[in-house]
Chain A
Amino acid sequence: MDHSELTARLAALIEVDALNYWEIEDYVEQLAAQPTEVQEEVLRQVGVIWPVSQALCLDFLDQVQRGLNCLHHSRLGEWVNATLDVYEKDGLKQAQRFLAEVESNFLCQIRGKSGLGLTEAGGRLLPYLRGLAGRALDLASAPTTYTDSQTIFLPPEITLCKEKRENFLTYKLLASWQWGLLAAGTFSARLTPEQPLIRELIVRHGRRLSSEQPFPANFYHLFPDPELAGDLFLLVETVRITKLMRQELPGLMRDSAPILAQLRRQRPALSGLEGKNRLLEALNHWALTAAPPESAAGPNAKLYARAVELLLPLANTGGTIDDSLGITAQLYRLCERLPGGYHPEHPPILGGRLQPRAVEAIRLRRREESRQQFIKALGAMLAVEAGENAPPERHPAQRQKPSGLPDDAAAALLPPPAKGGEGEQPLKPPPAETEYITVGGREIKIPEPLRELAGEIRQDLGRIPERYISAALEQAGTAAVGGPGPDPNEGPEATGPLLYDEWDYRRGGFRKNWCTLLEKQLLPVSSPFVENTREKYRGQLRLLKRQFEMMRLQQRFVRRQKEGDEIDLDAAIEALIDIRAGHPASDNLFIRLNRDERNIAAIFLVDMSYSTEGWVSTALKEALVLMCESLQVLGDRYAIYGFSGMRRSRAELYQIKHLGEQYDRKVKGRISAIIPKDYTRMGPPIRHVSRILAASEAKIRLLITLSDGKPEDYDDYKGEYAIEDTRHALIEAKAAGIHPFCITIDREAQEYIPHMYGAVNYIFINDVKRLPLRMPEIYRALTT
């Protein structure tokens, strides 16, 4: 492409007004030096980024030269996609940084062709992990591997091995290992100065047990060198958890042997290390593959042998967290014999160090959440109870403190008791005492929905603190005064705003949370429109109703059956005649009652864009009226929604009739109220309506779109992009078990509709005046 063509192409993609001409000139100059296929690719990517973020797009144009220096142009798309992922997750600043640090962040990793991103691995890894843990753990990317007991953080990309499959296995191993930490209770021990080991450590090193730090950080700080203690503890736990995993997940550990060997090869060589670092690294080598390092431990072979001896029982038979603490202390004493300090320069094995603070933060958050939930639920229950019984003079001061329990404030400050690995234990019924609580001096049974929550709180705090109950009582008191029950405001509730992804075909991926959809109710108007329409089509309507009546297949007698409830008299007489005449008689002599239920839910999605202005809109409305009248007879469930909107921030869906609603005055009023509004952004309404349909209990789910043209919006939602997004939304709908169908009056429909809906799933009506009558016919054909 020459200079002027490039300028023109670039100007067509981006809004030139946003730039100075010399800036464009700069970009064009850079690009002009590239071969045509590279230029094409860059322009294609500009088209992908510009609509998402203009600032980012300009950054991309700034950086693209650097990117191309170390990356084949066919991989630009991957780079852009990764950048957009960062943008959508962490915002512009992070994305710009990601672009700028192209070599270290992205290119070096993908150059090997083997890297596997967490985004790609996540789809498979997350359900695996949840199955493993038995609860809804999450995955997130972070520079180092760790867990906060709710989320497992893994590196955004793994490039350890050549094959993708092996890199996935690495992810799986790391994630399983973090699960192992949770399952083995690495974060859940509780230290008190009375424990013999702790007492001994306090005496030996003269440090106090910190109450500020969560376990296991408080344990490290009992030692003069907490870093060394921390890494030793991690090593010991690695051995213990590896044993647990060998036991629980033997297949994974067998498959991972080459990965572990590879990880070991990547460890620093022992020859370059001395003293404590050398011993610890030697032990790391041993822990990874259970084979001694090549040069053993050199000068300190004896110490090394002793350390392995300490670790062996854990590796062979496993142990508890207390065993780990004891062994850590013993290893620390061994290390003390070595000269020099400990410098943790190398990353710990199998990902990152433990993050006790993160775990603690999650636990506190969970405690707060369950406190609020408990108070709210119990309060609501008490309020209902108070409403049912005579309003008792309940006062918080009257409450009786359960005997034998310490003061609630003090109780809440107590560190939580040991907990079996944050819920990793097999589910067992909550202890019997969770069934009752003392409220206002009397024992009441905890209602079923609260019991699980109460069990959780008891597990965390040992009991349900009394202030939880008093807070619930207070809440119940205020609720009882205010009167329970929902807000009396019955007004139409507009849901939303809801966020929907949009498909970008150039990117081959979704723009996440790209569109905002508002579901609104159309205000009914009083208009003679419906009555006029009925009058206008009086004759045809009678016919339609008769046809629809015939479709009510609810009960139907089938004659001449081999078996049935009644004897088919005609057939029986014929058979007798045959017998008399000496012919072989048929034995199909019964009548059977067939009850085929129509189990259909249909949603009509009506285009309310400005292009329907005039007679198109009228025809659409008439069609809806005839449809409703006919469906009245048939009894299928159906809903009507209109859609329009402008730009991605305001896609609007108008509720005209929802699935459960009757065809009444209000609905008629809303049909009359349909007026052309703005643009046709089809993706979000289709996605939303699919969701509604998917949730309905029906054997057959139909999504019928009434449209007058291509999907189009004010912004870049037009042409191929709009068609591809709509198509993708329809594919999503099909995947959810919905049959999409389109009725269109667009003369150019042939060009794009078959691609969007599939060759047979649309009908083109060339005379809009015929639409009202055609529509019930189409519906009839579709559902019989």
Chain B
Amino acid sequence: MPAPEEKIAEHRITTKPFYLPQGDEVEIAKTAHANQLPLLLKGPTGCGKTRFMEFLAWELKLPLVTVSCHDDLSTSDLVGRYLIKGGEAVWVDGPLTLAVRAGAICYLDEIVEARKDTTVVIHPLADDRRDLPIEKKGELLTAPPDFMLAISYNPGYQSVLKDLKQSTRQRFVALEFDYPEAELEARIVGRESGVDQATARALVRVAAMTRALKDSGLPEGASTRLLIHAGKLARSGIAIRTACRVAITGTLSDEPELLAALDEIVSSVF
């Protein structure tokens, strides 16, 4: 079993991630870190929340431990558990404990997907106590000053049942993310996928049109991530209309008429 130092080293970010700030979010996040305040990132899927965390970790020179939450995520999955290895019970730290011990950033992605009891374990960590009780070991970890907790959620599509509890959300500094404005988004798409600026701008135009369809039956418009996918396919030689169809419109809906309309949008722009 690797030592904790080795394990956390896997979470160090070695190359500077590409991130274009949309506003003052980097500065706010850094200030929050300096003041030992946890972060709550809100925003639609694929708009750059995770990339922002990577960038922040790089800027702060801290390891980033990311946990993608799912509805079966238990407290043990976060904190750690005993495992039996060769007749012996061995304690293994969970990602959260690992991050607390190492003074890293722990990023719980899509926190509302996790079970409600799981979210409660972060409560003492997210206020001024900054404690993580490990009940099974009878240990109380206090986070070092560098540790930072960040959670994200998408207020758009989750059901009312999966809303974040007030007692949880009222511990965080909230940063709202949205799709970047057109020019910035085009630069991001161009840079990430390697397509030229004209194509990137056109992709962004397609995305803007799909986002406008939200009231016409589309649950969510195309995210920046999808644009980058389409751009990558196009750069690798797939015809741009096909690339858009498979990477953008096909992923957005299954409804034939809406799909047809989305295809029309694509064929208008390209």
Contact = CB atoms under 8 A, between A and B. Distances in A.
A, B bound: yes
Interface in B191-235: 202, 205, 208-210, 212-213, 215-218
B208 A134 contact: yes
A132 B209 contact: yes
Given A251-B270, A252-B268, A563-B76, A131 B161 contact: no
B268 A132 contact: yes
B267 A255 contact: yes
Interface in A592-632: 592-593, 595
A125 B258 CA distance: 9
A135 B76 CA distance: 47
With most chain B CB atoms within 10 A of its CB, the pick from A125, A126, A249 is A249
A130 B115 contact: no
Contacts of B267: 251-252, 255
Contact of B213 (A131, A172, A595): A131
B266 interface: yes
A133 B218 CA distance: 15
A426 B182 contact: yes
Contact of A128 (B82, B87, B182, B265): B265
Q: Interface residues of A: mostly helix, strand, loop or mixed?
A: helix
A127 B268 contact: no
Contacts of B209: 131-132, 134
A255 B264 CA distance: 11
B260 A248 contact: no
A595 B115 contact: yes
B79 to A, nearest CB: 11
A75 interface: no
Interface string A330-373: 00000000000000000000000000000000000000000000
Given A127-B258, A251-B269, A563-B76, A135 B264 contact: no
Q: How large is the interface on A (under 10, 10 to 19, 20 to 34, 35 or more residues)?
A: 35 or more
Nearest to B161: A697
Nearest to A252: B268
B257 A124 contact: yes
B3 interface: no
B205 A248 contact: yes
Q: Interface residues of B: mostly helix, strand, loop or mixed?
A: helix
B216 A127 contact: yes
A532 B169 CA distance: 51
Contact of A176 (B182, B215, B258, B268): B268
Contacts of A587: 84
A659 interface: no
Contacts of B154: none
B74 interface: yes
Interface string A106-139: 0000000000000000011111101111111000
A135 B268 contact: no
B185 to A, nearest CB: 12
Interface in B141-157: none
A684 to B, nearest CB: 23
Given A131-B210, A131-B213, A136-B215, A249 B260 contact: no
Given A132-B209, A176-B268, A126 B216 contact: yes
B160 interface: yes
B33 to A, nearest CB: 28
Contacts of B205: 248
B261 to A, nearest CB: 3
B81 interface: yes
A494 interface: no
Contact of A130 (B181, B213, B270): B213
A697 B212 contact: no
A426 B82 CA distance: 55
B213 A127 contact: yes
B261 A125 contact: yes
Contact of B268 (A124, A172, A575, A697): A172
Contact of A172 (B182, B264, B269): B264
A565 interface: yes
A166 to B, nearest CB: 13
B87 A565 contact: no
A565 B216 contact: no
Contacts of A181: none
A127 B87 contact: no
B257 A585 contact: no
Contacts of A126: 216, 261
Nearest to B117: A595
B269 A563 contact: no
B40 interface: no
A127 B262 CA distance: 8
B181 to A, nearest CB: 8
A222 interface: no
B159 interface: yes
Nearest to A563: B81
Contacts of B159: 697
A194 B253 CA distance: 53
A386 to B, nearest CB: 30
B242 to A, nearest CB: 13
A287 interface: no
A579 interface: yes
A688 to B, nearest CB: 20
With most chain A CB atoms within 10 A of its CB, the pick from B208, B209, B217 is B209
Interface in B44-81: 74-76, 81
B11 interface: no
Interface in A543-588: 563-565, 567, 575, 579, 585, 587
B261 A133 contact: no
A251 B83 contact: no
Contacts of B82: 567
B241 interface: yes
Nearest to A134: B212
A249 B160 contact: no
B186 to A, nearest CB: 13
Nearest to B82: A567
Nearest to B77: A563
Contacts of A565: 74-76, 81
Contact of A131 (B75, B182, B261): B261
Nearest to A129: B261
A589 interface: yes
B218 to A, nearest CB: 8
A251 B76 contact: no
B161 A132 contact: no
A250 interface: yes
Nearest to B240: A251
Given A127-B213, A131-B209, A134-B208, A249 B268 contact: yes
Contacts of B269: 248-252
Contacts of A123: 257, 260
A662 B153 CA distance: 33
Contacts of B215: 130, 136
B74 A128 contact: no
A564 B267 CA distance: 52
Interface in B122-178: 159-161
Contacts of A250: 202, 269-270
Nearest to B267: A251
Contacts of A252: 267-269
Interface string B98-122: 0000000000000000010000000
B157 to A, nearest CB: 12
Contacts of A172: 264, 268
A30 to B, nearest CB: 40
5 contacts: A130-B216, A132-B212, A255-B267, A563-B81, A563-B83
Given A131-B212, A131-B262, 9 more contacts: A128-B262, A130-B212, A131-B261, A172-B264, A250-B270, A251-B267, A251-B270, A563-B81, A564-B81
Interface of A: 123-128, 130-136, 172, 176, 248-252, 255, 426, 563-565, 567, 575, 579, 585, 587, 589, 592-593, 595, 697
Interface of B: 74-76, 81-84, 87, 89, 115, 159-161, 181-182, 202, 205, 208-210, 212-213, 215-218, 241, 257-258, 260-262, 264-270
Ranked 4 nearest A-B pairs via Cβ: A127-B261, A131-B209, A134-B212, A252-B268
